[in-house]
Each structure stands twice: as structure tokens, then as C-alpha cells.
Amino acid sequence: MRHDREVLLIMIMNHLPVLAVVVPLSAALLSLLLSRINKNLGKAVVILSLVFAFLDAVGLTAQVLQAEGHLIRYAMGNWDAPIGIEFYVDPINALLACFITFIAMCASIYSLSFLKDREWLQSGGYYTLIALLTVGLVGMTLTGDVFNLYVYLEISSLSCYGLIALGGKRSIPAAFRYLLIGTIGASFYLLGIGLMYAMTGSLNMADMGELLQSQMDNPLMYLVCASLIGAFGIKMAQFPFHAWQPDAYAYSHPGASPLISGAMSKVPALAMIRFFFFIFGVQNLVIVDATRLIGILGALGMIFGSVMALNQTDFRRMLAYSSVAQLGYIALGIGIGNLYGVTGSYLHILNHLFMKGGLFFAIGAIQYRFGIVNINQFGQLHKKMPFTCFTITMGALAMVGIPPTGGFFSKWYLMMGAMDKHLYIYMAVLVLSSLLNAIYFLRVLEKIFIAPEARLADRFDKEARRDGAAAKKHFLEVPAVMLVPIVVFGIGIVAMGIFNSQIVEFVAQTALKGVF
Amino acid sequence: MKYKILTLVVLIILCGAFCAGTAYLPEIGDPQSVPNNHISDYYIEHSEEDTASPNIVSGTLADYRGYDTMYETSVMFVSGLVVTLLLAVNQKKDQQKKRKYDVTEKVMGAELLRPVETSKLKGIMNHPFGGIIIDVSARLIVPFSMMYAMYVLAAGEASPGGGFQAGAVLALGMVLGRLMKGEKASFKIPGAVAVLLAGIGAFFYVFTGWLSLFNGGMFLEYGAMPFPISYHHLHEAGIFMIEAGVTLCVMMTIVGIMEALLKREDFEEKD
């Protein structure tokens, strides 16, 4: 027995990269069957699989940090790299996989209260989509094959369209618009890798990177860069390609919106970093031009997103426009294109995942209890929902970039990068955008803490009236399954700030040192 | 108007750029071109002994790059699932009432629900449209097409064909019966169950990967599956297993989408 357990453990340790995606995939595919048998079984299996995926990703990060050369390559079907498909795990994508599976795990637990009284098909289908979205995102982060990345992009996008469309009556046009634009993005990606295949004859990232070095003066490289900027720009909702994003984020299913807004846009951003810095190499002239373009678009997006966010009264739309601005920070870091800039970019990917995830968890809870999303109705909300308001406050402080929250440090690295390259205009944009962030987030905090109390229809009061004396007593502001993710993310935002030096030192720098 | 002109300009530039780019692409069929000289040689020379499939395309699709195909299958499943969730799930009654929509709802500038004259829809799909000629000829077509589908599946690893095509042809038989006989079709699967079965089909593919994983191999390494047969046969068996999973998934996805569309029409008629 003991021997068996050891064998199993060794097996798991050897296959960590693939298990992180295959376990949730298996759970997703079986979720409908299990839900048909028992409604709760399907949910439970998906949640457990996501918990396993999270632990697996943590183990993988630990493993890759100790591995020789900080690199793990896993060949699918035992076909070695250029012949078959491989997973190429380095510290930066292993850590992002950790974060994605963590937010997916929290979102799947959080969604329980939204799906209590649904039929088996709906609840099973919803959990299938959550798990498949996670599979797609984790796969996109870990894969070392450009076409495999396309397949993962497809699976994550399709499940994301589904989750957005399930959000209610205004969500269908939003999902449909995202479907059209997202498909164009995916086509651009396919064009890009088609051109790269024509130049190299390989689909493996590492192999392709080596072969492309002699072809950097080929005019096709300009088309490749344009295609990739278009593709990842659309997928991460970078400034001129963001039109689908505010509606999609605002009207998606409230249980899934933390995952969609937190993780969905970050993975293409990391893919962009991987393509431009790890595969192409920043020393080439065409790549310098391309990253400069990304940086300029990012800077424009930072101003544009912040100004548009000022104009919103729907909290979710405000967050969505603020995401356009925050993705601009990430693009700015890519545009700065030195060690500090990309470190800041990477750190901001992780930070923003926590900030936006936490804020969407919070607004989902407010919507669940009071049915409101309008900022003007938030008066004195901190009395009714103290923990949720704690998370909103932390998220707001991190967005503005106030220490010790994580947001400060990513902006700090971006500043240092811009300083190093004497890009003073970027520094001005960073400061300006932070000030605009401060305006619109402090407006929300003002409503919550200072504005007079708003009269709201409380879900719990309604339940109490309906059930009379038999009504459940509520000790918590929202059900515990919702409250735990909210509080965890509120603390996580601060923890990101405290542990940022470890992340930079052990993860970002070790992986990025080889590039610059 | 301003935006439309801008869009046109961007489109023309993009088209021009990509057309101009084709000049730098290698010529089609040129044996000296770069893509034909890197790993293609390996596939051509080793495919048969590596994958036990005389067909290089099948060998690449199902064995060398079988991991991609697994996700393509899952993509099929997701599309079926999303269509079923959006169209076939009977929404709450108040939403049903709203669906009389003589009023066109304007959401974000787009006309969301156009008023539909339900009388025009009647009898298009839900009611059987088989007459005696269609009835008799379909009875001839369906069994043979099903048999052909099984042939395409079984020959999948050796010749062009495989799970995707076999699934589509199999589904054709069911769709044909359902369209002709309507509710009276003797072999029909409810939409939700069809999607469930599609999930099981895709899982069968993943399960093939699990088999080799548990036997000490890498994921989807057919040569490491726990069957006491030779390497050659193991690969054949592995490819057949995944093709069978793909067949079930594709067939049931198509049936599920059709059922969802038919059910959607049911709602509209009842309003």
C-alpha cells in the first residue's frame, strides 16, 4: 500500500506539466454525465479537479525553480520537440499558471451560490465551461508549440463566449460581438504562425526561435509582427482593439467574470512577451520597431481607458475600461523592452489578475445581495458589507499604486525601465494615468464610505419576508462560498506587494536574464 | 461615416500588405523550400514505422500531433454544449412571455430580437416533411451511409478519413430520420443527452492518454498502453481508440445542435 502510494507520487511528480491541464479537462468532459447522475457530483468533481490543478501548478513552480537551467520540457506522446508537441515550462509561465488555477478554483467555488437552483444541464454545463476555460488558459501559458497555443486559444475563447452569453439578457449581443472580433483575432494569429512556418518549417517555439534569427531581415517578419500584435491585441483588449471588451466583461455571468476579466486577458499578454522577447529576440531591428508600436498603443490605451472609466456609472463597465488602461501598462512594459520594463510588465500581469479578480468578486457579491451595479447606489455600503468593501478598498489602492499593495511595485519597475531608457514621456503617461485611476477609484470609495445611505432592496430581507420565522439567519454578509474568495483576494492584493521582491528575484529575473 | 472610411483604408492597407507578402513565400511544391526541408523529411521517412499508419496525414494528425486533435475534439464538444445551453434550455416563464416581442428590443444599437412571424416558421422543421418518396428513398440511404461511416472510421488510420468524417456521416442518418419523421422518429436522442454523450466521446480520447500515462509512458504515448501486443499494433489500437472517441463526439455534437435548433423552434411556436 505504502509502496503504491510512493509510485503514484513519483508518477505525479514526473507528469506535473500535463496533469495541470489534463485533470481539469477530464473533469470538464465528464461533468455533464456526473451532473446527470447527481447535480452536486458534477460541481464537486470540477472544483476538486481545479484544486488539484492549483496544487499541481504550485508543485510545478517549485520543481522548475529547482530544475537544471530552470526549464522543464515535457514531450507529449514521447515525440521529441520539433517532431511532436511539447510543454515548455519556465518559472514565469509556471507561476502564471499557479495564479490562473488559483483564480479559477476560487471562481468555481464562488459560483456555487449562483447555480443553486439550476437544472443539471445548466449547472453541469456552466462548470464544464469554467474548467475548459481554465484548461485553455493554463495550456496557453505552458505550451511550447505555436499551433498548440492556437488550439488552446480556441478552446478558451469558445468557453469564454459561452460564459459571457450565459450572463443574462444583455450578454448575448456582447458575446456575439466578442465572437466576431475574437475570431478575427484568432485568424490573425493563424496567419502569423502560417507565415512563420513558411519561413522556418517548424512549429516548436524554441526551434522556431533559433531558425528565425537568420531571417530577421525578411520582409515577412513585418507581417508576422503585425499579425501577432493584432491577434494578441484583440485577445488582451489592448487599446485600439478593445471595443468588444467593456460589454463582454460587464454582462458576463457574475460567477465567471472574475476569471474572465482576471485571467483571460493576461495570458495573451504573456504570450506576447514570449513571442517578442523569447522567440524573436529583442536585439533585432524589426522587433524593436514592433515593441515600440506596442508601447505607444499601450500608452494611448492607458489614457483612453482611464478617461473612459471616469465616465461610467456602472461599476462593472468602469472596471472594464480600467482594464483597458491596465493592459496598457503591460503593453507599455513590453514597449520599454528592457529588463526592468518587462519585469514590471510581468509583475503587473500577476498583480492585475489579483486586483481585477478581487474587484469583480466584490461586485458580484454586491450584485448578488442587492442587485445593484451602479456606483451612485453604493452609499454607506461598508456598514452592510464590510469585507466586500475591504476588498474594493484594497483593489482601488492597488490600482492607484499605493504601497504596500502590489500595484505600486509593478508601476515602480515600469518607471525604472522608462528611466533607464530615457523615455520620459512614458513616465509622464504613467503618472497621469495613475492620477486618473485615483480620481475614479476614490470616487467609488467616497460613495461607499461618505455618501449618504442608499435605500436598497436586500435579498436577505426578501427571503425573510417570504419564509417568515423559518427563514435562515444570516451571520455573514453573503454566503460563505462567496465571502472566502473575496477576502482571500483582498488579502492577496497586499500579499502581492509584500512578496513582490521574491517574485522578481526568483521568478522574473531568472527567466528574463537569458533574454536581455 | 468617418469610421467607415477609416475601416476601409485599414482594410485596403492590410489586404495590400498580405498580398505583397505572398511574393516572399516559398513556392508551392518546391522541394528545396524551407518548410519542406526541416521536419517534413522526418515525417516522410519515419511516419510508417513510427505510427504504424501508411497514411502520413493520419499519422501526423492522430499520433505525432494527437495532442492537438484532442483539443480540437473538445472544441467540437464546447460548441455543441454552448449552443445547447443557449438555445435549448427552457428559460424562465417570464422570459418566455417576453418572447412575443412584437417590440424590437434595441440593445447597444443592435436590433436584438426581431419580431418573428411564427406562422411563417410553422412546418419548416418541427413537423415531419417526409412524403412517400422521401420516406422510401431515405430508408435506402440511411443504412448504407451508416455502414459507410463505419468503414470510414475503421479505415481511418490507414487511408484518408477518420473520426471527424465518420461522425458527420453517422449524424447524417439520425438528422435525416428526425427531419422526416419529426417526433415520431424511432431513434432519437434528447439534445441534453446528446451533448453529454459528446462529452463522453471526447473523454474517451483523453482516456486513451490516461492509459499510457498510468502505464509509465508519457501522455498519449500509444506505445506504452497496457495491452500485450506489439508496438505496431499498439499504435494502430491507439489511433483507432481516439478515432472512435472523435466519432462519438462529432456525431453527438451535430445531433445536439440540431435538437437545440428544433427545440428553439418549439418555444417560438408555443408563444
ipTM: 0.91
Taking CB atoms and an 8 Å cutoff, what residues of chain A touch B207?
A: 26
- Choose the mutation target among A8, A11, A25, A29 for the interface with B, i.e. most B CBs under 10 Å: A29
Distance CA B174, CA B152 (A): 17
Res. B266: pLDDT tops 80 = no
Res. B79: pLDDT tops 90 = yes
What pLDDT sits at residue A99? 94
**CB-side neighbour CA atoms (13 Å) of B157:** 25
* Residue B171, helix vs strand vs coil: helix
Distance CA A306, CA B123 (A): 53
Paired with A374 in beta bridges are: A314
Q: What is the pLDDT of residues B195-205, one digit of tens each?
A: 999 999 999 99
**Cα B207 to the chain's mean position, in Å?**
19
Q: What is the pLDDT of residues A115-150, one digit of tens each?
A: 887 888 888 999 999 999 999 999 999 999 999 999
Res. A93: pLDDT tops 50 = yes
Distance CA A228, CA A276 (A): 9
Distance CA A103, CA A360 (A): 11
Distance CA A13, CA A63 (A): 9
- A30, A173, A223 member nearest B21 (Cβ): A223
Q: pLDDT category, B125, cuts 50, 70, 90?
A: low
- B24, B95, B220 member nearest A219 (Cβ): B24
The residue that leads in pLDDT, B121 or A456, is A456
Pair A166, B81: CB distance under 8 Å:
no
| Minimum distance, in Å, between the CA of residue A367 and any CA atom of chain B | 20
The residues in B 129-158 lying below 8 A from A, measured between CB atoms, are none
Residue A72's φ and ψ, nearest 5 degrees, are -125, 130
- B18, B75, B210 member nearest A223 (Cβ): B18
The 10 Å Cβ neighbour count of residue B259 is: 26
Q: What is the pLDDT of residues B218-254, one digit of tens each?
A: 888 888 888 888 888 898 888 888 899 999 999 999 9
What pLDDT sits at residue B196? 92
CA nearest neighbour of A18 among A72, A81, A80: A72
- Choose the mutation target among B6, B30, B71, B252 for the interface with A, i.e. most A CBs under 10 Å: B71
Distance CA A174, CA A472 (A): 37
Unique residue bearing C-alpha cell 520582409? A219
Q: pLDDT category, A107, cuts 50, 70, 90?
A: very high
**Which residues does B137 contact at the CB level (< 8 Å), separation at least 6?**
none
Q: What is the DSSP string of B33-97?
A: SSTTTTTHHHHHHHHHHHHS-S-HHHHIIIIITHHHHHHHHHHHHHHHHHHIIIIIS---HHHHH
Unique residue bearing C-alpha cell 513590453? A334
Distance CA A171, CA A162 (A): 10
Domains of chain B, residue spans? 55-270
Q: pLDDT category, A474, cuts 50, 70, 90?
A: confident
Outline where A371-423 has alpha helix (H). Answer: 381-384, 386-400, 406-420
What pLDDT sits at residue A20? 93
What pLDDT sits at residue B97? 46
What is the percent of chain A where pLDDT is above 90?
57
Paired with B111 in beta bridges are: B106
Res. B10: pLDDT tops 70 = yes
Paired with A204 in beta bridges are: A145
The predicted model gives A328-355 an average pLDDT of 92
What pLDDT sits at residue B183? 74
> Among A52-61, A109-118, B90-99, whose mean pLDDT is lowest?
B90-99
Taking CB atoms and an 8 Å cutoff, what residues of chain A touch B223?
A: 78
> Among A125-139, A335-349, A480-494, B133-147, whose mean pLDDT is lowest?
B133-147
What pLDDT sits at residue A471? 67
Do A148 and B206 lie within an 8 Å CB cutoff?
A: no
What pLDDT sits at residue B271? 45
Do A84 and B213 lie within an 8 Å CB cutoff?
A: no
Which DSSP category does B122 fall into?
T
Pair A262, A360: CB distance under 8 Å:
yes
Do B200 and A29 lie within an 8 Å CB cutoff?
A: yes
Residues in chain B: 271
Q: What is the pLDDT of residues A28-87, one digit of tens each?
A: 999 999 999 998 899 999 999 999 999 999 999 999 998 888 889 999 888 887 888 999
Res. A441: pLDDT tops 80 = yes
What pLDDT sits at residue B120? 45
pTM for the model stands at: 0.92
Res. B57: pLDDT tops 90 = no
What pLDDT sits at residue A25? 95
The residues in A 134-163 lying below 8 A from B, measured between CB atoms, are 135, 139, 147-148, 151-152, 154-155, 158-159, 161-162
The residue that leads in pLDDT, A165 or B115, is A165
The answer for A456, left when phi > 0, alpha when psi is -120 to 50, beta otherwise, is: beta
The residue that leads in pLDDT, A169 or B190, is B190
The 10 Å Cβ neighbour count of residue A67 is: 16
Q: What is the pLDDT of residues A207-256, one digit of tens each?
A: 898 888 888 888 889 999 999 999 999 998 888 888 899 989 989 998 99
**Which residues does A214 contact at the CB level (< 8 Å), separation at least 6?**
none
Unique residue bearing C-alpha cell 445542435? B257
Distance CA B98, CA A460 (A): 28
Taking CB atoms and an 8 Å cutoff, what residues of chain B touch A84?
A: 64-65, 67
For residue A316, being part of any structural domain is answered with yes
The overall average pLDDT reported for chain A is: 90
For residue A282, being part of any structural domain is answered with no
Q: Is A41 on the interface with B (CB under 8 A)?
A: no
Which residues form the domain of A499? Answer: 311-516
CA nearest neighbour of A73 among A20, A23, A17, A25: A17
What pLDDT sits at residue A227? 93
Q: What is the pLDDT of residues A366-401, one digit of tens each?
A: 988 888 888 888 888 888 889 999 999 999 999 998
Do A18 and B219 lie within an 8 Å CB cutoff?
A: yes
Do B21 and A11 lie within an 8 Å CB cutoff?
A: no
Q: Is B168 on the interface with A (CB under 8 A)?
A: no
**Which residues does A252 contact at the CB level (< 8 Å), separation at least 6?**
A163, A164, A166, A167, A171, A174, A175, A260, A261
Unique residue bearing C-alpha cell 485568424? A187
Q: Based on the structure, what is the number of domains in chain A?
A: 1
Paired with A143 in beta bridges are: A87
Q: pLDDT category, B74, cuts 50, 70, 90?
A: very high
| Minimum distance, in Å, between the CA of residue A507 and any CA atom of chain B | 27
What pLDDT sits at residue A435? 93
Distance CA B111, CA A214 (A): 52
The residues in B 241-270 lying below 8 A from A, measured between CB atoms, are none
| Minimum distance, in Å, between the CA of residue B140 and any CA atom of chain A | 34
Taking CB atoms and an 8 Å cutoff, what residues of chain B touch A202?
A: 38-39
For residue A192, being part of any structural domain is answered with no
CA nearest neighbour of A161 among A174, A170, A150: A174
Pair A507, A95: CB distance under 8 Å:
yes
What pLDDT sits at residue B265? 63
Grid coordinates representing A327 are: 493592459
Pair A220, A199: CB distance under 8 Å:
yes
Classify residue A333 by burial, with Cβ atoms within 10 Å: 0-12, 13-18, 19+.
buried
CB burial readout A287-297, b (16+ within 10 A) else e:
beebbeebbbb
The predicted model gives A147-157 an average pLDDT of 94
Unique residue bearing C-alpha cell 478519413? B161
What pLDDT sits at residue B102? 44
Distance CA A46, CA A188 (A): 33
Outline where A143-265 has alpha helix (H). Answer: 146-165, 171-200, 205-212, 220-236, 245-251, 257-259
CA-angle at A369, arms to A367 and A373, nearest 5°: 25
| Minimum distance, in Å, between the CA of residue A147 and any CA atom of chain B | 8
Backbone CA torsion sign across B253, B259, B260, B261: positive
Distance CA B207, CA B154 (A): 19
